[in-house]
Chain A
């Protein structure tokens, strides 16, 4: 090797280092290219909600053991913390065994699933509501994502009783892997689940990939007061303002 050579060459000792660096750069670049094109699936740690029990012992889960209410159709749900004041419609089974949901043209309307308990009755009460609609943008259950542990939920019934609940947690599940026992199973106290859509919107199938489930547990009930009766209800116009 002579000094008159004009080509600048890396030191032989440096070459493996440079090679390694450039190889890493190559791999990183390829990663960026793939990552930019392929959607990354959402990552979630497995979790066991607090009300899960390990074995199949239901001793103490007694529908006759508490001061639970008889069945009465719920008419509205209120969550002051996130400004939900929604009328309720009755929902049953929909097309081919799917859950019936309120019409998308009524984005202010949530629904009570008749296949489970009514508020205050032993067992879980399940309410469905849309997260968004083409008419409204955000719909009745859009604010569910902002609910926090300890927030109060109130469900008013046809018989004039208002049942109160406390949020215990929320979880988003892939739609084909809904945990039926967590949602439709019994607990020691009457429960409440508010369900809407979550996850990614899959444009190919025209549906969200996940359901967001808010879990709440019974804290008490009261006769509807004048204040309850006068509470505003967010009608269709409230959502069509956008």
Chain B
């Protein structure tokens, strides 16, 4: 009984090894990475497929976007720009490398920042009192300058 189980396990291991070896000579599964992995309309997204040395295509599902990728040093790479008409949400990006397929997820946001505060500790520049004091000082300086210029002009005329 025990022997049978052991033989079965060996057979399984051998079988798995054969499957792996025939699927990818390099021995590693294709891994898809996107950079950036979260984007917004107008962002340039690069799709990378590691352990892929064959011609590859990236497909952004439900969008009709197909990106042909260039392979260099068993890494395939392709880029696309997120169009303005894509809805916010998550998109599955599938890379077909030879007869293998691997996925990664792209998140598309509305492009706004994170609302991480209520403003209770906000410093909003000079406070209202200080700001109006500056404005009043400015007004006083303007008044002095205008009176000075007016006097200068008037007395200049007298002397002429």
Contacts and interface: CB of A to CB of B under 8 A. Distances in A.
Given A142-B121, A197-B116, A211-B116, A26 B142 contact: yes
A186 to B, nearest CB: 4
Nearest to A32: B138
Interface stretch (B1-9, B54-62, B107-115): B107-115
A48 interface: no
B31 to A, nearest CB: 5
A195 B117 CA distance: 11
B103 interface: no
B35 interface: yes
B121 A132 contact: yes
Interface residues of A, number: 82
Nearest to A122: B33
B132 A123 contact: no
Contacts of A61: 33, 35, 48
A235 interface: no
A33 to B, nearest CB: 3
A22 B138 contact: no
B58 to A, nearest CB: 14
Nearest to B158: A7
Q: Which of A96, A180, A196, A203 has the most B CB atoms < 10 Å from its CB?
A: A180
A180 B81 CA distance: 13
Interface residues of B, number: 68
Given A9-B158, A175-B113, A36 B131 contact: yes
B82 to A, nearest CB: 9
B120 interface: yes
Contacts of B79: 56
**Chain A facing B: main interface SS:** mixed
A96 B105 CA distance: 18
Given A22-B152, A26-B146, A132-B122, A97 B108 contact: yes
Contacts of A32: 134-135, 137-138, 141
Given A22-B148, A59-B75, A211-B113, A181 B142 contact: no
A211 B124 CA distance: 15
A58 interface: yes
Given A131-B116, A176-B113, A35 B152 contact: no
Nearest to A25: B145
A12 B158 CA distance: 12
Interface of B: 28, 31, 33, 35-40, 43-44, 46, 48, 50-51, 72-73, 75, 77, 79, 87-90, 105, 107-126, 131-146, 148-149, 152, 155-156, 158-159
Given A33-B138, A117-B37, 4 more contacts: A10-B152, A32-B138, A36-B132, A139-B117
Interface of A: 1, 7, 9-10, 12, 15, 18-19, 22-23, 25-26, 28-37, 39-40, 56, 58-59, 61-65, 93, 96-99, 101, 104, 113, 115-117, 122-124, 126, 128-134, 136-139, 141-142, 173-176, 178, 180-181, 183-186, 195-197, 200-201, 203, 206-208, 210-211
